[in-house]
Amino acid sequence: MLVGHQPKEFLLAVEALTVSFDGFKAVNDLSFYVEENEIRVIIGPNGAGKTTVLDLICGKTRATSGSIQFRGQELTKLKENQIVQAGVGRKFQTPSIYDDLTVFENLEISFPRGRTVFGALTFTRDAIVRDRVHEVAEMIFLKDRLNVNAELLSHGQKQWLEIGMLLIQDPELLMLDEPVAGMSVSERVKTAELLNRIIKDRSVLVIEHDMKFVEDIAHKVTVLHQGQILSEGTMEHVKNDPKVIEVYLGH
Amino acid sequence: MTDNRFVNRSELIGILLLAAFLVVILPLCLDVFRLNLVAKYLTYAFVALGLVICWGYGGILSLGQGVFFGLGGYCMAMFLKLEASSVENTKIQSTPGIPDFMDWNQITSLPLFWKPFHSLGFTIVAIVLVPGLFALIIGAAMFKRRVGGTYFAIITQAVAAILTILIVGQQGYTGGINGMTDLRTLKGWDIRPDHAKIVLYFFEVGCLFVCIFIAQFIRHSKLGRILVAMRDKEDRVRFSGYSVANFKIFAFCVAAIFAAIGGAMFALNVGFMSPSFVGIVPSIEMVIYTAVGGRLSILGAVYGALLVNFAKTSLSESFPELWLFGLGGLFIAVVLAFPNGLAGIWSDYVEPQFVRLITSRKSKPVDGWTEKSVADGAPAE
């Protein structure tokens, strides 16, 4: 299946992707395609290679073979920061924010301007930056906490802050690794609401274990097992797939 | 809103206090000999300042700043040595017009790499560029390959050791273990008499403040915040679209150039340069100055360099063999008890007392002051 032969251009086309760590194939001949404005959720048992797939797309791990095309651009050859600049944003599993900086500064660093050494030296905090930071802070429920050091935030707020840092980057593909893990029920509801709001005009790739949450947001679900696709389709389809019930949902 | 100017009010007060201390109080209270000692201590303040940017903010521990201090110092010393080795000053040598140590080592003509150091303009450029480029090469080689932390520190130690061995070994070109001594004049102006020492002291203080302002500018720019962010979550910075290696290289180069300016000041103020300021031990001492002053505090670095060196002079006069133990003990004590050094003691204990004094006089204490100072205080000083 070649991208060129498709009637529709995919935003992300992962083809025959394989990575092996000392002979162990964490991801094995994996192919999947993400469309524009699609929310794709990847589920699967522990060790299925879900996080590794995100690592491969964002360049944290290098593929042994295969290709990752993003808007026709080959990502496997780019450096991490070039992949970000191409329009791929990634949220890590544990909240990855800058504890020693304020919420404002955390968001400001992710604002896509002044990313070179010289650009960072001459960066000025003008009205555009301020407005955008305030706008995003409002979305992520942190507008009252802009001047608070990020380390003083609660776990859920840290997760939101990191989502906000990605939002301000304005990526075309947003990858989220377990965005609601460790959150309280009310925080989950707010996060789902937040995600539903931010997915406009972009595609989202989410890893999540919380089935209720997956059902709420997913357009399409990919089930990974031992580095390979076990099943793919709507949540309804995947839920009733006997293979999936056998290895994952049944437990 | 967070302050975006490059000096805020409390920092400006700190800078003015330091200026008053260095420009007015010390010159009035000390004789020329002691003032010249302060000038020597202050050369290390440049190094400590660079380490604040590189180590304190960027989290890159370099145990090889002596290398850059030495490169800057040697560049300056080469110029001064050439001027001191004019044909009439050296007419008793078998080859007049070359530095004395070359003559002793049977070198009969000035080596090629020495020749440009006849020019003061070239020398000044070299003081900045030679260490800057060297740091760029080391930095690019290490950080592009993601070598960091302890490994980087060890490699900088190795570089310091290599450079010392090189300088000592190439006696004919470098003056060997004795270094470059008997430096006399700068463009015909004698740097040895008392009035010259005083002028050089003020010149050095001026340069120090220029460096302090550059450091302040970097710290308050977005680059300064990226350095802090990198120290904390390197991957997050990388996956926010920044080339982490380039920012590390920048911080390392700035630290190298500051150290080199300090080295050049050393050659001018002290009147000689030797490999004993290049190697592993002096490089580690430089880190201790920064740690004692507070590795996150630009002004703390200056006080740290002054205080530790003052202690070194006074203690090593009375207990020469105990001094190094004292220095080691001091480092351990600071790391364990006051990880933010003198600046930390100041901002945690002294400043709150001041604030309490001032606010208690005002009729209405400002609400939210404590919360804000906690939030501001943690990343800064």
pLDDT of A248 higher than 70: yes
Structure confidence by residue, pLDDT tens digits, B42-98: 999 999 999 999 999 999 999 999 999 999 999 999 999 999 999 888 888 888 889
A84, A104, A110 ranked by CB distance to B2: nearest:
A104
Residue numbers of the domain that contains B94? 9-339
Give the sheet arrangement for strand A12-21, strand by strand.
A24-34, A12-21, A65-70, A73-74
Could you tell me if B228 lies within 8 Å of chain A, comparing CB atoms? yes
Strands A65-70 and A203-207: unpaired
DSSP per-residue string spanning A96-140 = ---TTSBHHHHHHHHSSS--SHHHHHH----HHHHHHHHHHHHHT
Q: Is B245 within the bounds of a domain?
A: yes
Separate counts of helices (H) and strands (E) for chain B: 18, 2
- Asked whether residue B1 is assigned to any structural domain, the reply reads no
Query: Do B36 and B168 sit in the same domain of this protein?
Result: yes
Residue of B nearest to A81 (CA): B241
**Structure tokens, B293:** 């002053």
Task: Dump pLDDT digits (tens) for A113-161.
Answer: 999 999 999 999 999 999 999 999 999 999 999 999 999 999 999 999 9
Query: Which of B221, B228, B237 lies closest to A121 in CB terms?
Result: B221
Mapped onto helix, strand or coil, the DSSP state of residue A67 is strand
- Name the amino acid, one letter, at A92: F
Q: State the average pLDDT over residues A72-81.
A: 92
Q: Which CA distances in Å does B140 have to A241, B136, B144, B224, B365?
A: 52, 6, 5, 20, 51
* Domain count along chain B: 2
Radius of gyration of chain B (CA): 22
- pLDDT tens sequence across B102-129: 999 999 999 999 999 999 999 999 999 9
Which of B307, B322, B339 delimits the end of a domain?
Answer: B339
Contact B225 A147 (CB under 8 A): no
Hey, of A100, A133, A145, A166, which one would you mutate to test binding to chain B, going by the most B CBs within 10 A of its CB? A100
Task: Give φ, ψ of A178 to 5 degrees.
Answer: 50, 65
Average pLDDT of the residues in B369-374: 40
Chain B residues within 8 A of A148 when measuring between CB atoms? 375
What is the DSSP code (8-state) at residue B349? Answer: I
pLDDT tens digits, B1-56: 444 567 788 889 999 999 999 999 999 999 999 999 999 999 999 999 999 999 99
Specify whether B81 is located in the same domain as B137.
Answer: yes
Give the chain B residue nearest A125 (alpha carbons): B4
Same domain, yes or no: B326 and B351: no
Report the 10 Å Cβ neighbour count for A17: 24
Q: In this structure, which amino acid lies at residue A236?
A: E
B221 lies in a domain? Answer: yes
Residue B231 and residue B261 in one domain = yes
Mean pLDDT (chain B) is: 89
pLDDT-derived band at A72 (thresholds 50, 70, 90) equals: confident
- Which value does ipTM take for this structure? 0.88
The residue count of chain A comes to: 251
* Shared-domain flag, residues B359 and B333: no
pLDDT for position A104: 96
Indicate whether B63 and B195 sit together in one domain. Answer: yes
B357 and B307 within one domain: no
For A151, name the nearest residue in chain B, comparing CA atoms only: B375
- Residues B352 and B335 grouped into a single domain: no
Examine the pLDDT at A3 and tell me if it is beyond 70. no
Same domain as B351, residue B225? no
How many whole angstroms separate alpha carbon A13 and alpha carbon A27? 15
**CB-nearest partner of B236 from A98, A121, A148:** A98
Residue with tokens 């309804």: A236
Q: Using pLDDT thresholds of 50, 70 and 90, give the confidence band for residue B331.
A: confident
Residues B319, B349: one domain? no
The reply to whether residue A120 touches residue B2, judged by beta carbons under 8 angstroms, is no
CA distance B53 to B376: 18
Q: Are residues B306 and B365 in the same domain?
A: no
Q: How far is CA B48 from the centre of its chain?
A: 4
Tell me the CATH number of domain A3-249, given options 3.30.565.10, 3.40.640.10, 2.60.320.10, 3.40.50.300: 3.40.50.300
Instruction: Say if B2 falls within a structural domain.
Output: no
**Cα A90 off chain centre by:** 4
CB atoms within 10 A of CB B119: 13
- A250 pLDDT band (50/70/90 cuts)? low
Residues 236-295 in B contacting A (C-alpha not used; CB under 8 Å): 236-244, 246-247, 250
Interatomic CA distance for residues B110 and B113, integer angstroms: 8
Is B167 domain-assigned? yes
Alpha-carbon span B153 to A91, nearest angstrom: 31
- To the nearest 10 degrees (0 to 180), the angle between helices B323-337 and B298-318 is 150
Which residues are registered as beta bridge partners of B190?
B185
Report the distance separating Cα B61 and Cα B156, nearest Å.
9
Q: A142: number of CA atoms within 13 Å, CB side?
A: 33
- pTM, to two decimals: 0.90
What would the pLDDT profile of B167-222 be if each residue is shown by its tens digit?
999 999 999 999 999 999 999 899 999 999 999 999 999 999 999 999 999 999 99
**A121·B4 Cβ contact <8 A:** no
- Tens of pLDDT, residue by residue over A195-207, are 888 877 889 999 9
**Token pair of A181, please?**
């893990």
Q: Calculate mean pLDDT across residues B259-281.
A: 95
Contact list in B for residue A152 (CB cut-off 8 A) is 375
Residue B108 shares a structural domain with residue B198: yes
Q: Over the stretch B244-259, which tens digit does the pLDDT of each residue have?
A: 999 999 999 999 999 9
